Structure 1
Amino acid sequence: MFFIRNRKRSTHEIITQELKNKSKSTPSISSLTKDEGVLLEKIRWKTQELNVNNVTRTKAYLDFYLRYPDIHWAFLGHMVSRNGGWNMTDLKGEFLPRLMTKKDRLLFFQFLERGNWLIFQDVYPQFLLYEESLKWRKPFFNLFGKFHISTFMETIWNQFWRTNDTYLLTVALVINEQSYLERRVVQNPMNQKQVLNKFEFLLQDWLSFNHILFPYGNKQLAGQTLHQFELLHERILLGKRLYSSLFKNKDIHQKIVEWAKRHPHTGSRKDYWPDIFNSVNEGTPGFPYQLHLKSCQLRPGAKRIYSPTLENAWKNVSHSEAEEGDWFTDWRIVDYLKEDYENINGEIKDEYCKTLERLELTALAKKAITF
């Protein structure tokens, strides 16, 4: 045990020194060989092909993880992306159309979709370059700059190539993706005004957007709850807790993987609770709204809650190019790479059920939320 901890400490020191050096220097731009140029075009095409919508991205993450199970973030990304899809379709589901205007729901969808798109176009080329590195038996991480991937991740992937430290790589990717979103999405002035400030109450208090759910087994849910979404620090810590919830307990991890393999992502919450949610609207137009739930079960005679598929809820979005620029400026971000040994309780079912019931009661009251 002493040897393992000492080795990890040495790895941390190596990374820290490399990043200190990088934070003081200007990245060099190297020319490409013909083969490298062909490789980059192949990766750009493949990433664009799969970055169509939340469903295609989510499937791509799982497919990659099943091919390369050492890349833990691919499965973490898959499960978090599933939650992103559920949040998107909630905007067209049973409750939120009663509480939010059509314009506000569109704004919130665009916010979620942009973040989902940005993360994929940043992380998936990293995965494909790793895949090519395995095929050619030499690292291609020096090409990260051609995709505007942070120099932080070049250092981390080179270290992973030498040590196969899955924890290090996963947490580094959590840091990278949340830092990547910080300026482009969270601190974007338009999003600050039209989305985050406007929906802070919705996000933090009683909507389900702050629950990240990992279904498994017979209607079981693991996961975590996010508070203070607007804080980068909180999102990184959440990512570390989610990683622990997914991978620390091997039995639960395998059950979640098996669930994901058996249930292709559609965006509908019917994927994990078909006895409570349905992708077809069972409600009768013109009839008064009736409560569906009690203690996380349908009331006698109640219809299932409407939760549409992504395909039926939203059209595909054509995105503008990602904003350029490397987020990495301060080497002290490496402090997040230190492993946490706290015991993470991933039980979330009861909390989520209470949130659903609060949301339904608010929808029943039909008190439109104004800002």
Structure 2
Amino acid sequence: MNSSKRILTKFTLIPIHFLLQPFSLLSRKKVLWELSSEQKVQLQLQWKRIMKHRNSVRISFQNNKELIQKIKYETKLKNKDNISRTTAYLSFFKKHPEIQWAFLAHMVSRNAGYFMTDLKGEFLLHILDDVFAENLYTMLEKGNSMIFEDAYPQLLLYEESKTKGMSLFFLCHFFNVSPFMEGVWELYFQGDHSPLLPIAQIINEQSHIENHLVQTAEYQQLLKHLTYRIQEWLQLSQILFPVLPLKNSVGKNMYNFESLNARIELGQNLYHILFHPKHFHNTYTFALKTPHTGSRNDYDRSVFTLKDDPHKKKYPIEKLSFFKTKKNQKIYSPHLYDVWKQNYHGPFFKSNWFSEQDFSIEKIRLVKKKSIPISLSYWAGLHKLESAFLLKHYYRLIKKK
């Protein structure tokens, strides 16, 4: 690719993306669904009952004791790593497609795996310092594991309740699940099949990691790190739902991850996008046909490769050209198992965030907000990464001279 085309690529696509970002951030939210007055009353009654009797719940039947041990064992088994968690969510959704959050969790967890392997991929391995990359991986892995540890027992309790035809959600207490979710599950089991359950699950999981991850001193220090700001500027935090061909994919950019409200609204937007009739079938077909490995090669084999080139040239070459790679050029994106071995297995904490009922009710709604087409953000992000990688390499060469 000649010099003029390189300049045309980098100096059109990246600025266009920057120019469009403010319009996306300032676009108005549209509320698609809110709690009815009756639902609010029912929720408050459930929460009041649960909070009153929560500490007095006792297990007297042997079958319930066995069920608790079974669910704890199954959760620990599936909470091995990002691959096992992501697979478990999809397996559950295939059996219980009415629990939509399970498929949303599967697709978001896929993206968490992509973020993890990006840290050891073609570009970031050479842009980020090793210590920061390790810390960022640890935070991603910890959040992924903590959400699963809280959510998967809820899913298994639902499965058992469905099988037996009776609510077993009073056992939530024994898995440190928030009373917030126990009340919502009770309403769902009584027949409330509005968006209440998936939206509440989004609120619950983000509130859970807010207390036990995002607000920790360890994570706050990571957020302040200059390299994190560079990572945020490069827009690496895209949640991509592949729809093949890839130019038809959907998803959202993540902004301001340290904000609980921003993460909840992102989850609501992603839920709306994923289960839109135009997108669901194609995305679900992709998930069924494509086992999750953590490599971006899963969804785009024309751009990404699992093998790093052992014969790289001394001077790196540009591989990207607008919305594709140059002929015979591919970007290295490894399997997760090939680059990360350490995983998070605790300690896990009680989901004790729920205290302000009015705040929780206010957040239970479904919103959507217009954003930049994900295909543009995705490719602009790749070009930013490659630009940063090339600039850093040539800076080192000039410094040596």
TM-score by length of 1: 0.91
Rounded to whole Å, the distance in 2 between the matches of 1:338 and 1:325 is: 21
Structure-to-structure mapping, 1:243-322, within 5 angstroms: 243-248=271-276, 250-282=277-309, 284-301=311-328, 303-322=329-348
Contact 2:78 2:85 in 1 (8 A): yes
Query: Hey, what does 2:54 align to over in structure 1?
Result: 27
Contact 1:246 1:253 in 2 (8 A): yes
Shift of 1:190: 1.3
Between Structure 1 and Structure 2, whose CA radius of gyration is higher? 2
Shift of 1:30: 1.5
Query: Hey, what does 2:71 align to over in structure 1?
Result: 43
Shift of 1:289: 0.8
Q: Among 323, 330, 336, which residue is 2:349 paired with? A: 323
The change in CA–CA distance for 1:203 and 1:145 in structure 2 (over 3 A counts) is: farther
Query: Hey, what does 1:339 align to over in structure 2?
Result: 366
Query: Hey, what does 1:201 align to over in structure 2?
Result: 229
Query: Hey, what does 1:356 align to over in structure 2?
Result: 382
For the pair 1:174 / 2:208, whether they are aligned, the reply is no
Amino acid at match of 2:379: C
Rounded to whole Å, the distance in 2 between the matches of 1:37 and 1:22 is: 20
Where relative contact order (Cα < 8 A, 6+ residues apart) is larger, the structure is 2
Rounded to whole Å, the distance in 1 between the matches of 2:75 and 2:41 is: 33
- Listed one character per residue, the Cα deviations across residues 291-332 of structure 1 (whole Å, up to 9, x for unaligned) are 11111211234x210000001011142523212351101102
Query: Hey, what does 1:221 align to over in structure 2?
Result: 249
Q: Among 54, 60, 66, which residue is 2:82 paired with? A: 54
Shift of 1:202: 2.9
Rounded to whole Å, the distance in 2 between the matches of 1:159 and 1:335 is: 18
TM-score by length of 2: 0.85
User: Cα RMSD over matched residues?
Assistant: 2.1
Contact 2:240 2:250 in 1 (8 A): yes
For the pair 1:131 / 2:159, whether they are aligned, the reply is yes
The change in CA–CA distance for 1:122 and 1:279 in structure 2 (over 3 A counts) is: same
Query: Hey, what does 1:366 align to over in structure 2?
Result: 392
Structure 1: where are the runs of 5+ without partners? none
Contact 1:61 1:75 in 2 (8 A): yes
For the pair 1:211 / 2:238, whether they are aligned, the reply is yes
Query: Hey, what does 2:186 align to over in structure 1?
Result: 158
Rounded to whole Å, the distance in 2 between the matches of 1:262 and 1:167 is: 27
SS at match of 2:366: coil
SS at match of 2:190: helix
SS at match of 1:109: helix
SS at match of 1:213: strand
Structure 2: where are the runs of 5+ without partners? 1-32, 397-401
Contact 2:177 2:350 in 1 (8 A): no
**Paired-residue identity, %:** 32
Rounded to whole Å, the distance in 2 between the matches of 1:191 and 1:169 is: 29
Amino acid at match of 2:211: R
Amino acid at match of 1:356: L
Contact 2:176 2:349 in 1 (8 A): no
The change in CA–CA distance for 1:253 and 1:73 in structure 2 (over 3 A counts) is: same
- Listed one character per residue, the Cα deviations across residues 180-227 of structure 1 (whole Å, up to 9, x for unaligned) are 00011100111111x22214413431141x210000121131001111
Amino acid at match of 1:72: Q
- Listed one character per residue, the Cα deviations across residues 106-137 of structure 1 (whole Å, up to 9, x for unaligned) are 11110000000000011000000000001111
Identify the range of structure 1 (278-287 vs 99-108) with the bigger mean alpha-carbon deviation: 278-287
Aligned length: 359
Amino acid at match of 2:138: Q
Amino acid at match of 1:237: E
Query: Hey, what does 1:99 align to over in structure 2?
Result: 127
Amino acid at match of 2:143: G
Rounded to whole Å, the distance in 2 between the matches of 1:343 and 1:150 is: 29
SS at match of 2:66: helix
Rounded to whole Å, the distance in 2 between the matches of 1:104 and 1:42 is: 38
Amino acid at match of 2:142: R
Rounded to whole Å, the distance in 2 between the matches of 1:330 and 1:93 is: 43
